[in-house]
Amino acid sequence: MGRVVGIDLGTTNSLVAFVENGAPVVIRDKSGDGLVPSVVSIGGEGTVYVGREAQRRLLTDAQRTAYSVKRFMGKGREDVRHEEEHFPFRVSGEAGGVVRIGLGDKEFTPPEISAFVLRDLKRRAEDFFAQQGEFDNEVDRAVITVPAYFNDAQRTATRDAGRIAGLEVLRIINEPTAASLAYGLDKRHTGLIAVYDLGGGTFDISILRVEDGVFQVLSTNGDTHLGGDDIDVLLMDTILGDRVRTPEDVQAVRQAVIQAKWDLSERDETTLNGRPFTRAAFEALIAPVVDRTIGPVRQALADAGLAPSQIDEVVLVGGSTRIPLVRRRVEEIFGKRPHSELNPDEVVALGAAVQADILVTGNREMLLLDVTPLSLGIETMGGVVSKIIMRNSTIPASGSELFTTAVDNQTAVDIHVLQGERELVADNRSLARFKLRGIPPMPAGLARVQVQFQIDANGILSVTARELRTDVEQTIEVKPSYGLTDEEVERMLLDSFEHAEADFAARLLIEARNEAESVIQATEKSLRNPDFAAIEKDELAPGERQKIESVMAGLRMVLNSKDRETIQKWTHALNDATQHLAEVIMNRTVKAALSGKSVNDV
């Protein structure tokens, strides 16, 4: 048996974690980075790049590079038509069928693209275990997280991605619930918890009651199309205007916009497009996006039968909760300051690792009881939905419906399964259509076929049927409306072995680039420190800043070269040039901490 991990497969970034000596740990690369950007790029020669390297290729080869693919998981072609203009890659697919993403001369389904990211995480974990000197370092099983508000098709697509990546998916769990598991580890919590999870592409709110180690979700709500991406698009629109640009230019603007967004979480002003950009202007622009989270929060509270003031603790999850406006809104809604002790980017992966550990060890200290986010129903006469399992039912959940025949000797019935809260079929999500066959011939209305719907602990549906008069089990062929068949998944698993990953030399080069980039980012952060002017005046030697800037510029120049040694030489040079500055900042932090004074993020 191989190793087991927990994976947060995010819209923007993905992470892998495992449990070591009873505590979950994020697995990092050589430069200490736990995040793998959920970006996949296909080189001209067919090589697959994942993560930071793929992200860099957005600036050189945007049309062969896919990001935010989580937004397309479990979707049909029609669902995404309105937003494909924002992406550099081709979006296609047959009407009524699953979305396809074109990169170069190849086409992929969203689960296949996600599988590349998962495969990269799997290898990252295997490399790590091998370095630890573990004999058994193969990673073959994983718990993967999804937004709580993901529907059946989106969950199934995520599980398919895991299978295509060669992983046995032990369990699909909800991101906010995973986060609560990670938070619940150190303290014996008892009480009502709200988890507010605003990530790169999705928003979730979950209300939980925690008692005796049982994490029971009372209600959940959200929007699988709301997150940091929407903020980026808003900012990009203000800069891009109507001018036609190359896809690479658009990506450069996107990166500048993201940098400005990050800056404004720490400072009151930054520059964007060469002009000053204040936090106030930023907040005025994004307020409508942030306010879209309020409705789901109120609905979740109402469904749990709770008033905001009854919530004992509020937990923030997802990178977008670093935005001060988001924190203020959450505080306004609940009337209390939210928790953010754990890194909001990492907490979901940590929880996934805990759940994976529970499943393989049978440890009964903690138990997670989640709910299904959307009601499940079937189409009845007149295009109306008849609900069979209500939203916020604890899973696993089951429900049944009796069917009969309309004409004599009818041997089959068509059944249309839907998910959603609306009354009319057309307003809900079509999950599957199937034909119930093998009903024994008898006069109309005599057959009594009981169809049993079972939602398992992953939130995924299965259907069985039985004719009650004859007690004959019916065969059901479920054709997912926007999913892959088992055969397709199997074929994709085989195909995936044919895609070349970067070879050993190329991987070393990529590692060198990643390290160079993380040193550049750390340096930039130091230079942008709000106290930097004072630090420079008091403690830096004349010309020290200029030296740092020129070495950093030099490293940037060679970053995209293929010469690994040159990149490493410049990386070391930048490390040396910033060593004194790093010491100065560290000393100030220590001094401030000792005097009890709060310091800005250093």
Q: Which is nearer to another protein, 259 or 454 (CB)?
A: 454
Asked if residue 456 binds another protein (CB under 8 A), the reply is yes
Asked if residue 214 binds another protein (CB under 8 A), the reply is yes
Q: How far apart are CA 564 and CA 559, in angstroms?
A: 9
Minimum distance, C-beta of residue 358 to another protein, in the bound complex (Å): 6
Q: How many distinct helices (H) and strands (E) make up the chain?
A: 15, 28
DSSP character string of 404-461 = --SSTT---EEEEEEESS-SBGGGSEEEEEEEE--PPP-STTT--EEEEEEE-TTS-E
Which residues, 402 to 421, sit near another protein by CB under 8 A?
A: 402
Minimum distance, C-beta of residue 400 to another protein, in the bound complex (Å): 5
Which listed residue (9, 182, 342, 397) binds another protein by CB under 8 A? 397
Q: Which is nearer to another protein, 359 or 599 (CB)?
A: 359
Instruction: Mark whether 569 is an active-site residue.
Output: no
Asked if residue 436 binds another protein (CB under 8 A), the reply is no
Asked if residue 401 binds another protein (CB under 8 A), the reply is yes
Which listed residue (454, 496, 575, 589) binds another protein by CB under 8 A? 454
Contact 154, 146 (CB under 8 A): yes
**Cβ neighbours of residue 580 under 8 Å, at least 6 residues apart?**
540, 541, 544
Minimum distance, C-beta of residue 379 to another protein, in the bound complex (Å): 12
Which listed residue (48, 66, 142, 170) binds another protein by CB under 8 A? 170
Asked if residue 386 binds another protein (CB under 8 A), the reply is yes
Q: Nearest Cα to 196, choosing from 63, 329, 87?
A: 329
Minimum distance, C-beta of residue 464 to another protein, in the bound complex (Å): 11
Which two tokens mark 333? 């809604």
**Cβ neighbours of residue 285 under 8 Å, at least 6 residues apart?**
234, 235, 238
Which listed residue (368, 519, 551, 567) binds another protein by CB under 8 A? 368
Q: Please give the distance of CA 357 from its chain centroid, rounded to a whole number.
A: 21
CB atoms within 10 A of CB 575: 16
Contact 102, 66 (CB under 8 A): no
Which listed residue (2, 399, 438, 554) binds another protein by CB under 8 A? 399
Asked if residue 281 binds another protein (CB under 8 A), the reply is no
Q: Which is nearer to another protein, 464 or 526 (CB)?
A: 464
Catalytic residue among 53, 61, 160, 197: 197
Which listed residue (212, 471, 487, 565) binds another protein by CB under 8 A? 212
Asked if residue 188 binds another protein (CB under 8 A), the reply is no
Instruction: Mark whether 597 is an active-site residue.
Output: no
Dihedral (CA of 37, 42, 43, 45) sign: positive
Instruction: Mark whether 517 is an active-site residue.
Output: no
**Cβ neighbours of residue 120 under 8 Å, at least 6 residues apart?**
36, 50, 51
Q: Which is nearer to another protein, 402 or 505 (CB)?
A: 402
Asked if residue 359 binds another protein (CB under 8 A), the reply is yes
Instruction: Render the burial of 371-404: b for 16+ CB within 10 Å, e for the rest.
Output: bbbbbbbbbeeeeebeebbbbbeebebebebebe
Minimum distance, C-beta of residue 185 to another protein, in the bound complex (Å): 17
User: Helix, strand, coil shares of the chain as percentages rounded to 5?
Assistant: 40, 25, 30
The amino acid that residue 38 corresponds to is S
Catalytic residue among 29, 120, 152, 175: 175
Contact 366, 403 (CB under 8 A): no
* Element housing 561 (H / E): none
Asked if residue 400 binds another protein (CB under 8 A), the reply is yes
By CB under 8 A, the count of residues binding another protein is 30
Which two tokens mark 320? 């977008």
Which two tokens mark 270? 């930054």
Which listed residue (2, 97, 308, 396) binds another protein by CB under 8 A? 396
Asked if residue 287 binds another protein (CB under 8 A), the reply is no
Asked if residue 394 binds another protein (CB under 8 A), the reply is yes
Q: Which is nearer to another protein, 38 or 219 (CB)?
A: 219
Asked if residue 447 binds another protein (CB under 8 A), the reply is no
Q: How far apart are CA 431 and CA 117, in angstroms?
A: 26
| Contacting range for another protein; rule: CB under 8 A; set: 212-220, 254-262, 499-507, 590-598 | 212-220
Distances (CA, A) of 361 to 4, 19, 22, 396, 592: 11, 11, 11, 21, 44
Block residue for tokens 């049909």: 76
Instruction: Mark whether 79 is an active-site residue.
Output: no
**Contact string 2-41 vs another protein (x = CB under 8 A):** ----------------------------------------
Give the length of the chain.
602
Which listed residue (367, 468, 534, 553) binds another protein by CB under 8 A? 367
The radius of gyration of the chain's CA atoms, rounded to the nearest angstrom, is 26
| Contacting range for another protein; rule: CB under 8 A; set: 158-166, 395-403, 422-430, 576-584 | 395-403
| Contacting range for another protein; rule: CB under 8 A; set: 209-217, 292-300, 425-433, 472-480 | 209-217
Q: Among all residues, which ones are annotated catalytic?
A: 8, 70, 175, 197
| Contact residues for another protein, defined by CB under 8 A | 170-171, 211-212, 214, 216, 358-360, 362, 364, 367-369, 386-388, 393-402, 454, 456-457
